[in-house]
Chains A and B, each alone.
Chain A
Amino acid sequence: MKKAILVLSVLSLVAWGLAQRYFSEKELQLIQSGGKAYAGVFQNQRPDQALCSLHRNRLPADLLPQFLEEQRALIKYPQNGRLMGDWKKGGAIFNNLQKANCFSCHFGSPVHLGGDVGPSLEKYGLKRGQSEAVQRYTYEVIYNAWAYFPCTVMYRFGAQGLLSPEEIADVVAYLLDPESEFNTKPAVGSR
Chain B
Amino acid sequence: MRPKAWWVVGAALLLLLGLAQEVDPREEAKRQKELLLQTAGILPTELVVQQGEELFHRKGPSGKTMAECDFGLGKGVLEGAAARLPRYFLDTGRVEDLDHRILTCMTKVQGFPREAVKRSEVVAVAFYIASKSTGHRINVRLLFPQEKELYALGEKLFYARTGARDVGCATCHVTYVGKRAGVLPYADVLGKDQSWTHWPAYRYSNDQTWTMQDRIRACYGNIAHPQPDLYSLPILALELFLAYHNNGAVVEEWPAFVR
Kindly supply a per-residue 1/0 record for chain A positions 40-76, scoring 1 wherever the CB is within 8 Å of any chain B CB and 0 otherwise.
1110010001101100110000000000000000000
Q: Which of B117-176 contact A (CB under 8 A)?
A: 149-150, 153, 156-157, 159-168, 170-172, 174-176
Whether A115 and B179, one on each chain, are in contact in the complex, defined by CB atoms closer than 8 angstroms, is yes
Whether A155 and B166, one on each chain, are in contact in the complex, defined by CB atoms closer than 8 angstroms, is yes
Kindly supply a per-residue 1/0 record for chain B positions 224-253, scoring 1 wherever the CB is within 8 Å of any chain A CB and 0 otherwise.
011111001111010000000000000000
Whether B170 and A30, one on each chain, are in contact in the complex, defined by CB atoms closer than 8 angstroms, is no
19 contacts between A and B (CB under 8 A): A22-B156, A27-B156, A30-B233, A30-B234, A31-B157, A33-B232, A34-B234, A38-B226, A41-B162, A41-B163, A45-B160, A50-B161, A53-B161, A56-B159, A56-B170, A57-B171, A153-B172, A160-B164, A162-B165
Kindly supply a per-residue 1/0 record for chain A positions 15-46, scoring 1 wherever the CB is within 8 Å of any chain B CB and 0 otherwise.
00000001100010011011101101110010
Check: A161 CB closer than 8 A to any chain B CB: yes
Q: Which residues of A contact B150 (CB under 8 A)?
A: 30
Q: Which residues of A contact B149 (CB under 8 A)?
A: 30
Whether B229 and A34, one on each chain, are in contact in the complex, defined by CB atoms closer than 8 angstroms, is yes
Whether A52 and B161, one on each chain, are in contact in the complex, defined by CB atoms closer than 8 angstroms, is yes
Summed over the interface, the residue pairs from A and B with CB atoms below 8 Å come to a total of 103
Check: B182 CB closer than 8 A to any chain A CB: yes
Check: A156 CB closer than 8 A to any chain B CB: yes
Q: How far, in angstroms, from A35 to B227 measured CA to CA in the complex? A: 8
Whether A117 and B156, one on each chain, are in contact in the complex, defined by CB atoms closer than 8 angstroms, is no
> Known: A27-B153, A35-B228. Contact between A105 and B165, CB under 8 A?
no
Shortest B172–chain A CB gap in Å is 6
Contact partner, A53, options B160, B176, B179, Cβ 8 Å: B160
Residue of B nearest to A146 (CB): B166
Q: Which 5 A-B pairs have the closest CB atoms?
A: A34-B228, A37-B226, A35-B229, A34-B234, A115-B181
Shortest A24–chain B CB gap in Å is 9
